[in-house]
Amino acid sequence: MASSLKDKVVWITGASQGIGEAVAYRLAAEGVRLALFARNTEKLSALSEALQNQYPACECLVLAGDVRDSNVVNTALEAILQRWGRLDILINNAGIASPMGLLQESAPEDVSQVIDTNLKGAIYALQAAIVPMVAQQSGCIININSIAGQTAFPFWGVYAASKFGMKAITESLAQEQRQNGIKICGIYPGAVDTAIWEGISESLDAETRRTGMLDVRQIADAVFYVLSQAETVWIPELTIEPLKPAL
């Protein structure tokens, strides 16, 4: 029997745009309680208002912050627990990409930003979310990874390193927490049409992205598929790619 998501407390990092925003809309339709976390307060507030207008029963909590700061991440969790008293689902989605190029040409600040956001930021969110889930003996965490976390592509080594690291954390944590009734899943999308491509590759114009990449709503549907499984069913990972990719 499929699991109902109604009234589940869901924390989405990187919620202000792209995949995070699409997941927020998809889950709001199921009657969840949404904690929306990202750096852009204005976008988060607009998203919260739009969700509550479209789904009047939807409860939203806006949490502005940067996943690179563990103290900010922990404060966000405290706000969630103060509001709802529990955390059922974490969508660990915040991520960035740097311009493609040779490894030796990668600026140190770009390396730090990618690793700090994609890997360390993901770990901080995991560390925070696991604590109440262990106490509850239940929960589900979906790490939104990338196909680059399964296959390393040339000219994008640092990004791949951050995503391979996230894959390792996902698999390790999944084995640690199965005994506590907590499901950990890694979703590995191929190219998705989001703002992350802006400034990465000049050859990928808007039209190419629209016709040769996945739509964010397709990733949101994949997230819903994982979350809607019966309590006794665990999906460790899910890879989703466009049939005819632009890359």
Q: Hey, which residues are catalytic here? A: 159
CA-closest candidate to residue 238, choices 150, 120, 126: 150
Question: d(Cα 11, Cα 29) in Å, to the nearest integer?
Answer: 15
Distances (CA, A) of 221 to 1, 17, 29, 36, 217: 18, 16, 12, 18, 6
- Adjacency order of strands within the sheet including 59-64: 59-64, 33-38, 9-13, 89-92, 139-144, 182-189, 237-240
Find out whether 89 and 140 touch, Cβ atoms under 8 Å. yes
Half-sphere exposure of residue 20: CA atoms within 13 angstroms, side-chain side: 29
Find out whether 184 and 131 touch, Cβ atoms under 8 Å. no
